[in-house]
Chain A
Amino acid sequence: MPAAGHNYGERMASTLVDLEHPSNRNEGFCAALELAVAAARELEPGPVPASRDAGLDERVQRDAILRLRSGATANPGLLSLLADGRFAEHFGDHEADDRDGADEVSRALAVPDLFCLASPPGTTRTLTVLEIVRAAAERGERVLIAAPTAPGVEAIVSRLPPGATVIRTDQAGSGPGSITAAADGVQHRVLSRSQAAARALEPWLGEPSPALGWLRRLTTALGEAAEARERAERAVAHRDATTRDTRLRLGAAARAAEQARDEAGAVVTGTAGEVERLTAALRRAEGSRLRRWSTGGLRRRLSDAVRVAAVARSAFHQTIAAYEESAHSLDRAVEQDGAVRAAADRAAFADLAALRALESAERSAHHLTRLLDGVDAAPKWTADPAGLAGFAEHCAAREPVLRGRAGLLREWRQRAARPTRQLHPELLRYADVVASTCLGAGRPEYGELEFDLLVLEDAARIPVPAALVPLVRARRAVLVGETRRPLLRDTEVVRAWVAARCPAGADPDELAALLTGSVFERVVARAPERNRAVTLW
């Protein structure tokens, strides 16, 4: 008999307590649960087959009762529900839930705490349970399927549609559905799915990485290109200055010819102006009676002026030809001058060097673009200094991130490549569906697991203490079972045990009910209409 039970009984026997007060009632219920666990050990063989470790089974039931008593249950109202039959208020669409057309699946998923599905074993029940599990998993809920025995679990799990991640905690070894198989599957998927990314990121690994090498080449080439461009610009400036100096040095004759041309042009302009002036004066004299007498003199003067202008134009054309010849000679002389040719060669070589440096930067940029392909978003760039510099800046900013990414992925794949049990807790924590026997759900390694929904199959064969093990881990539950099943234990045997062993202060009726009745019978009898449903064959 547990010490807690003794203490409780002694305290109750010596103190005036309102047994019907909810807190005392709940405490009494918890004490009766502990007594039932201890009694079951003495009354076995019971309905739950003896497991490999009966001590462990008893411990997980006691742990569940402890969680129930301390309020550390995923459903905070579980104790009141089991002890007093107090179900949570349902703030959903009652009318929709209660109408004839609403199916059991929708109603089961709509209740905030617990739903009882009374149904005889068979295809209808199995399909309903499968649909509840499928619908809950589809909503993103984590579902725990529990049954009194492993074959009961198997009957449900084997028919679940593919897609959801299902883990059977009672499946030993690496059989289908076992946690080991699930971990193996995850590890294989990790290795196969991340292979391409790992290969793409490989050039970003190392100190220095190939990618960093290309980035450095790009940066170096851009620096060299900038320097070469500066040198080329200086060489061009030097070439131009040399050309100017040489032209000045060799251009005396050309300048004299130019001056003669300009002077001849001025003479042409002057003589042409004189011709125009005399022509106008002659027209005015011919149109005036008073000046008609002067037309003869004007005509003579105009004739002379035209002759002089023609001579001037001829001389001008000769000076132009002389100037062009002189300028052409100067150009040739400048072009063939040694200093000018040397300066021009230097400028041409400097420009070529600048172009080659830029081409080198461009090649590095193309390499980096290929290394970014499939790894990170590569920006568009142009093959000019500004475009390449912008691309280099982008790569320099992303390189540490991609190096970190490559290193992390390599570590992750190395971890995935070796067998490990360390993945197991997380796989259980994040699986869509976990399936277990009732008592298997309470193993110490699953201590922190919680679920959105528990589907307790064949609940009419499960005593309350055993059902508590999965119940304390679920925010909501659907109990599936059949009504009017035989009692879990012989009533007379239980009564005799209770009469002989029930401590003072404990409630013998509650204890007997817990030893003979199932969790399904206890709950379905107290469930409101909207928390239960009946299906037929």
Chain B
Amino acid sequence: MTEAAHLPMREVIRRAGALPNVRPVRFVPLLLPMWAVEVVATVRESHAYDVFDRYLTRALAEAGLSGTAELAGFFGVEPLLVERTARFLERIGHVRPGDGGWELTALGRRSVADGRRYLLSPGRRMTLRFGGSRAEPVPFAHATHSVWLDRPALTLPDGTVFAPAGASPELPAGSVSGLLERDDLADFTGPAVPVRVEAPRPRRVWLPVYLVECEDDPVVFGWAVDGPDPYLLRVYLSHAG
């Protein structure tokens, strides 16, 4: 017996029965084949700016100021305060010494544009998850709130047996790099956004779901969403072809 990793069948039957315009015909416990890629990543974490570091960065970005003395004069503070703030920003990779003053790095420009103080943290172990059929990244909510199985076997305490929904093709080589290039990357990785990854190690995992065949279109129940899960339905349909 495997530990309880999903809703019992009767609960799914109850929920499906409560849905308007849904007439279930058959409940099929399935294990959708998916991919998990373990990586060691340099992640970009988002923090709130303090006061002066924010204004100093903005002065570099928007006001055409760069020298310590002119920045101090502009803000009406001691040059040492500017110097120490700039050194702090240099330590976290937001500014670097430039031509007679300070200039923003790419990370600093990105931070000031987004109004968030980004920090790069190397060596973070994380798991990136992809669909088994089309190798599309799994949304962060599903990645974190789902139960992922290392083996294609699951039997619930109520005796419900989940069967693998077939095999999946190999994970395409560019899946991870393609994910990192997406503008909506944070939707799949959460607040700690990977900017570089090393040593990706893909492995097959399985996601238990209930396929509810209906008189009309089927619906799929997972763990991450209370009701029918449109994302899981898309994954199932792409897998079923």
Are B80 and A412 within 8 A (Cβ)? no
Nearest CB on A from B81, distance (A) = 5
Residues of A within 8 A of B75 (CB): 190, 194, 409, 412
Alpha-carbon distance A463/B70, docked complex (angstroms): 47
Q: A residues within 8 A CB of B63?
A: 401, 404-405, 408-409
Q: A179-196 toward B: CB 8 Å interface, digit per residue (1/0)?
A: 000000010011111100
CB distance from B102 to the nearest CB of A (A): 15
Say whether, besides A405-B65, A408-B55, A430-B81, A189 and B88 are in contact (CB < 8 Å): no
| Residue B40 is within 8 A (CB to CB) of chain A in the complex | no
Complex-state Cα separation, A197 to B85, whole angstroms: 22
A426 and B52 form a contact (CB under 8 A): yes
A345 CB, min distance to chain B CBs, angstroms: 51
Q: How far is the CB of B109 from chain A (nearest CB, A)?
A: 15
Q: Determine the distance from Cα of A165 to Cα of B76 in the docked complex, in whole angstroms.
A: 15
Within the assembled complex, what's the spacing in Å between the Cα atoms of A125 and B82?
Answer: 34
Residue on A nearest B53 in the bound complex, by CB: A426
Interface-side segment among A21-29, A417-425, A513-521, A524-532: A417-425
How many angstroms between the C-alpha atoms of A283 and B76 in the bound complex? Answer: 104
Q: Which B residues lie at the A interface, using CB under 8 A?
A: 50-53, 55, 58-59, 62-65, 73-78, 80-81, 83-85, 88
New A-B contacts (6) at CB < 8 Å, excluding given A194-B76, A197-B76: A193-B76, A197-B73, A404-B62, A404-B63, A405-B63, A405-B65
Taking the closest CB of chain B, its distance from the CB of A179, in whole angstroms, is 14
Cβ contacts A131-144/B at 8 Å (1 or 0 each): 00000000010100
* Nearest A residue (CB) for B50: A426
CA distance A191 to B75 in the complex (A): 9
> Total interface residues on A, using CB and 8 Å?
28
Task: Compute how far the CA of A91 lies from the CA of B109 in the bound complex, rounded to whole angstroms.
Answer: 40
Interface string of A438-462 (1 = CB under 8 A from B): 0000000000000000000000000
B88 / chain A contacts, CB cutoff of 8 Å: 429-430
Give B76's nearest chain A residue, CB to CB. Answer: A193
Q: In the complex, which of the residues A142, A401, A422 contacts B51, with contact meaning CB atoms closer than 8 Å?
A: A422
Contacts of A405 on B, CB cut-off 8 Å?
A: 59, 62-65, 74
- The answer on a CB contact under 8 Å between B55 and A412 is yes
**Cross-chain contact A186 with B77 (CB below 8 angstroms):** yes
Which residues of chain A are within 8 angstroms of B59 by Cβ–Cβ distance? 405, 408
For residue A432, CB closer than 8 A to chain B, the reply is yes
Q: Which residue of B lies closest to A137 (CB)?
A: B80
Answer yes or no: A277 CB below 8 A from chain B CBs.
no
- B80 and A422 form a contact (CB under 8 A): no
A411 to B54 Cα, complex, angstroms: 12
CA distance A408 to B51 in the complex (A): 13
Q: Is A485 an interface residue (CB 8 A)?
A: no
Known contacts A190-B75, A197-B74, A425-B50; A430/B80 CB under 8 A: yes
Answer yes or no: A90 CB below 8 A from chain B CBs: no
Q: Nearest residue in B to A196 (C-beta to C-beta)?
A: B76
At the interface, is chain A mostly helix, strand, loop or mixed? helix
Q: Is A94 at the interface (CB under 8 A from chain B)?
A: no
| A194 and B64 within 8 A (CB) | no
Which residues of A lie under 8 Å from residue B55 when comparing CB positions?
Answer: 408, 411-412, 415
Point out residues on A near B: beta carbons under 8 Å. Answer: 140, 142, 165, 186, 189-194, 197, 401, 404-405, 407-409, 411-412, 415, 420, 422-423, 425-426, 429-430, 432
- Say which residue of A409, A423, A425 sits within 8 Å of B74 (CB atoms): A409
Q: How far is the CB of A408 from chain B (nearest CB, A)?
A: 5
Sampled A-B contacts (5; CB under 8 Å): A140-B80, A186-B77, A197-B76, A430-B52, A432-B80
Q: How far is the CA of A407 from the CA of B83 in the complex (A)?
A: 23
Residues of B with C-beta under 8 A to A408: 55, 58-59, 62-63
Across-interface contacts of B52 in A (CB, < 8 A): 423, 426, 430
Chain A residues positioned under 8 Å from B58 (CB to CB): 408
B62–A165 touching, CB < 8 Å: no
When chains A and B are docked, how far (Å) is the Cα of A423 from the Cα of B51?
6
Report Cα–Cα, A192/B84, bound state, in Å: 22
Report the bound CA distance from A194 to B70 in whole Å.
Answer: 12
Q: Are B85 and A426 in contact (CB under 8 A)?
A: yes
Docked-complex contact B50 and A422, CB < 8 angstroms:
yes
Contacts of B51 in A (CB 8 A): 415, 420, 422-423, 426
Residue numbers in B under 8 Å from A432 (CB-CB): 80
Contact at A165–B78, with CB atoms within 8 Å? yes
Select from chain A the residue with minimum beta-carbon distance to B81: A430
**Could you tell me the distance in whole angstroms from the C-beta of A197 to the nearest C-beta in chain B?**
6
Kindly identify which residue among B53, B74, B78 contacts A194, using a CB–CB cutoff of 8 Å: B74
Residue of A nearest to B63 (CB): A405
Residue of B52, B62, B76, B80 most packed against chain A (CB within 10 A): B76
Contacts of B64 in A (CB 8 A): 401, 404-405
Which residues of B lie under 8 Å from residue A422 when comparing CB positions?
50-51
Beyond A408-B55, A408-B58, A426-B85, whether A189 also contacts B77 by CB under 8 A is yes
Closest to B64 in A: A401
Complex interface: chain A residues within 8 A of B84 (CB): 142, 429-430
Q: Is A190 within 8 A of B62, CB to CB? A: no
* A410 smallest CB distance to B (angstroms): 12
Whole-angstrom CA separation of A453 from B122 in the bound complex: 28
Complex contact A430–B76 (CB within 8 A): no
Q: How far is the CA of A409 from the CA of B80 in the complex (A)?
A: 19
Interface contact B76-A191, CB-CB below 8 Å: yes
For B80, what are the chain A residues with a Cβ–Cβ distance below 8 Å?
A: 140, 165, 430, 432
